[in-house]
Chain A
Amino acid sequence: MKSHFKFNVGFAIGLCLSLLVACAGSVSVSPTAPQTATTAAPVNTIEQSDRILREQLLPQIAVQDALVPDYVADKVVVTALEDPLPQLDDYPLYGAQPSADAKTVYLEIFSSAEKANAERRDERWLIDVAEAFNQQQQTVKSGAVIQVGIRNIPSGLGAQLIAAAAAKPAGYTPSNELWLQILKQRGTPFTPVNAALVPNSTGFVVESQAYQALAASGEVTFDRLLDAILAGQLTLGYPNPYSSSSALNLLYTIFWQAAGHNKDGKPLTAADLQSPQIGSMFTAFQNQVLVTTQTTLDLKDIFLRDQQKLQAFPLDYQSYATLKQTPGFEQTGYVPFGVPHSSPLVSFKWNTPAQQEALAKFAAFATAAPMQQAAKTLGFETTPYLSAKKFPPVPTGTVLESAQSFWKQRKDGDRTVYMMLVIDTSGSMDGDRLDVVKKALRLASGAINAGNQVGLVTFGDAPVRRMKLAPFNQLEQQRLLVAIDDLKADGSTAMYDGLMVGLADLLEKQKADPNGRFSLMLLSDGEVTKGLRFAQVQEVLSGSGVRIYPIAYGEVNQQELQAIATLREGSVYDGNPETVQRLLKDLFQTNL
């Protein structure tokens, strides 16, 4: 009996000990648990990001160096590459298609997107006008039937194609008259057909609280909004002024104000741009710019995600009228500025007399009451701003091109821009895919401002550091060109390993220059197949303070790239061999 009791107690103790050991063992069963645990905790500062990156992530990465020595770079001859023109076929043609029928007078009209986007009900007014016009089968004096096609192309790109004689549309209707002045300056004469197809203007969409704060002390005018921006009270974003009508108008209006011409009513001159008065205002303005994007659509996305960070961005009034009805925008304010966006229509000297006559008939149809009424329902309204007619005078094309160059040279103020290029060279990039990217990089390298710092890291099986961040000059451009030529596709896709190596180099620079602007362009064409995963790097990216521009160059994990972009007020850019040249040029133009 006694021995039976001892056995029971011993058995119970043994059982308890076994359970304890089993439980304790299970805690450390997963070899990946410590890695995940280290990066899953919130990382709030750049210092924390840097520490975790160096202590925990970089030791897991086998980075190689393939830097280009000075004597090799020095031998390269840098030749200016010609800016590629946009491909016309990338921009859709709506309404009637071209016809060789002698009994038809065909008109192709280049139109800005806010009135020629068939994908959106509120942005397809001119397409609807053309379709209604085509149905009427109107004729010219000779009896030929007029048919109209509308090509949706950004105003700036349309002007670029027409000025280069790469396209000869019958008509051109940009958002505003500024592009016509640029066209005139580039030696392309035109004849006005109608000064304003529809009433419209542009202005700033302003986040609710910021708008209310300004409204508390009176009417919110552009002057007051600009003053608040210059005083550091608001952050903003705007698109590339080389292609966006609103951005070009904004740039011109700021310079015009800074030159004091809002008091004397005179137009801006190229000489004005040399004055410290304009330079000082532009520097203060740019200090408040959170992001410069390729399109307004990117700004809308960022604004919807975080209105506290991006508090204002420019948008056409007609787009705003629709936008204000969507969730997230109901409480926003709108502050108009600049020259009207009333869609002037012009014709060209290559048109036949029948086409000139047909264009006039189309313009008369578009500006007649029924079509104008339809436009009004879409937000094309004669607002109080348009009625007041207190606009800046339209400057010459020379001044506008000088303003664009001024923007490109001075947009970073006193701050240095640091950009790391992280490029996928895995096996799937072999052939044309990598060749096109190399060509795009060569071309885009011409858009880097001297003094800004650019580095290059590639990744396949492992990351390769090909160019360290250094102030851009002729030698660095030569070095970049050699590095680009050396790129070869091979191996798997260790994307996050490459990303972390690029990030580490940027954070090293950040310690020496906390006031710099730090960004990383990530181009990848496939799923991550090797090395670190998103969950392991997410918090480090988030806390790094580095803005990331991911380019989805094929079948990639869009969700992950979107998550990376969202960490720092960015967007994912869709690239393919046809568009990557323009995309990289745009990114370099706006960010470097």
Chain B
Amino acid sequence: MNSLNTRLMLTLGMSWLGFLVTGLAINQVFAPAAIAILIDRSYCPPAQWQQVSQQYDALYQQHQRQDIQIQAVVLFSSLANDLRPSPPAPAEIQGLATYGQPNPQQQQQLEADYPKHKVLSCSP
């Protein structure tokens, strides 16, 4: 009786462990893509900035649905970078003031720092 119980417990335990390992494996294999969003906030005419903010909105909604994982949002300009560890709300991006010249060198540096990235910019 005792040996039956032991085997039952072992089988049950192994089954749960199997479930767990499978779950983790599925989670790893089918995990949402983690990307950084690089937003160029150099001067952008309002109509074009509207398009940029709509692109961000779409990505933000995907992040909310866990289709993608936004690991960081970086706002960059010719002056400095502003790193946001958690994605700002789309309304904030829509209301951002854009100013100054584009900074291609800074953009290249950020693209190198974040290999998986998406650049949002209205510069050609």
Q: Which residues of A line the B interface, CB within 8 A?
A: 223-224, 226-228, 230-232, 257-260, 262-263, 276-277, 280-281, 283-284, 287
Contact = CB atoms under 8 A, between A and B. Distances in A.
B103 A263 contact: yes
A231 B82 contact: yes
Nearest to B42: A277
Nearest to A258: B100
Given A227-B82, A263-B78, A277-B43, A257 B103 contact: no
Contacts of A260: 78, 100-101, 103
A219 to B, nearest CB: 11
Contact of A284 (B78, B80, B99, B101): B99
A477 B92 CA distance: 42
Interface in B61-111: 77-80, 82, 97-101, 103, 105
A282 to B, nearest CB: 8
Given A224-B80, A226-B79, A263-B78, A280 B97 contact: yes
A223 B76 CA distance: 12
Contacts of B101: 258-260, 263, 277
A276 B44 CA distance: 9
A276 B80 CA distance: 19
A312 to B, nearest CB: 15
Given A257-B79, A277-B43, A230 B103 contact: no
Interface of B: 42-43, 45, 77-80, 82, 97-101, 103, 105
B12 to A, nearest CB: 52
Contacts of B97: 230-232, 280, 283-284, 287
A227 B79 contact: yes
Contacts of B80: 223-224, 227-228
Contacts of B42: 277
B43 A227 contact: no
A228 B42 CA distance: 15
B99 A258 contact: yes
A208 B97 CA distance: 26
Contacts of B98: 280
A411 to B, nearest CB: 16
| Chain B interface helix/strand/loop/mixed | loop
A260 B80 CA distance: 13
A281 B99 CA distance: 5
A141 B99 CA distance: 59
A224 B97 CA distance: 16
Contacts of A262: 78
22 contacts: A224-B79, A224-B80, A227-B79, A230-B77, A230-B79, A230-B99, A257-B100, A258-B99, A258-B100, A260-B101, A260-B103, A263-B103, A263-B105, A276-B43, A277-B99, A277-B100, A277-B101, A280-B97, A280-B99, A281-B99, A283-B97, A283-B99
A287 B95 CA distance: 14
A223 B98 CA distance: 15
A289 to B, nearest CB: 14
A422 B45 CA distance: 41
Contacts of A258: 99-101
Contacts of A277: 42-43, 99-101
The 7 residue pairs across chains A and B that have the minimum distance between CB atoms:
A260-B101, A281-B99, A227-B80, A227-B79, A280-B99, A284-B97, A223-B79
A231 to B, nearest CB: 7
Nearest to B97: A284
B77 A227 contact: yes
A344 B79 CA distance: 30
A344 B98 CA distance: 38
Contacts of A257: 78-79, 100
A257 B43 CA distance: 13
A227 B82 CA distance: 9
Given A227-B80, A257-B78, A263-B78, A280 B105 contact: no
Contacts of B79: 223-224, 226-227, 230, 257
A199 B100 CA distance: 31
